[in-house]
Structure 1
Amino acid sequence: MSKSGLDFKVGDAVVYPAHGVGKVIAVETQEIAGMALEVYVITFDHEKMTLRVPTKKAVSAGLRSLAGETVVTKALTTLKGRARIKRTMWSRRAQEYEAKINSGDLVSIAEVVRDLHRADNQPEQSYSERQLYESALDRMAREVAAIERIDREAAVALLNKSLIKPAAAAA
Structure 2
Amino acid sequence: MFQKGDKVAYPHHGAGIIEAIKEKRVFSEKKKYYVLKFTEGQLMISIPIDNCDELGLRSIINKRQASKVLKVLSDKSKKEIIDYTERFKINSDKLSTGNIHSVAEVLRDLNTGEKISTREKRQFSKAKKILISELVYIYKKTEEEMDKKVDKMLN
Q: TM-score, normalised by structure 1?
A: 0.81
The yes-or-no answer on 1:103 pairing with 2:94 is no
Q: Note the 1:22-171 alignment, pairs <5 A.
A: 22-46=16-40, 48-82=42-76, 85-118=79-112, 122-164=113-155
Identity of aligned residues (%): 25
Structure 1 unaligned segments of length 5 or more: list them. Answer: 1-5, 165-171
- The number of residues matched between the two structures is 155
Q: Relative contact order (C-alpha < 8 Å, sep 6+): which is higher?
A: 2
Q: Secondary structure at the match of 2:22?
A: strand
Cα displacement (A) at 1:107 = 0.6
Cα displacement (A) at 1:147 = 1.2
Cα distance in 2, alignment partners of residues 127 and 87 from structure 1: 19
Cα displacement (A) at 1:47 = 5.6
Match of 2:3 among 6, 9, 19: 9
Higher alpha-carbon Rg: 1
CA RMSD, aligned part only?
Answer: 1.8
Cα displacement (A) at 1:141 = 1.1
Instruction: Tell me if the contact between 2:14 and 2:129 (Cα under 8 Å) persists in the aligned partners.
Output: no
Structure 2 unaligned segments of length 5 or more: list them. Answer: none
Cα displacement (A) at 1:129 = 2.5
Cα distance in 2, alignment partners of residues 84 and 130 from structure 1: 21
Q: Which runs of 4+ in 1 moved over 4 A?
A: none
Cα distance in 1, alignment partners of residues 78 and 20 from structure 2: 42
Q: 1:83 to 1:12 in 2, by over 3 A?
A: same
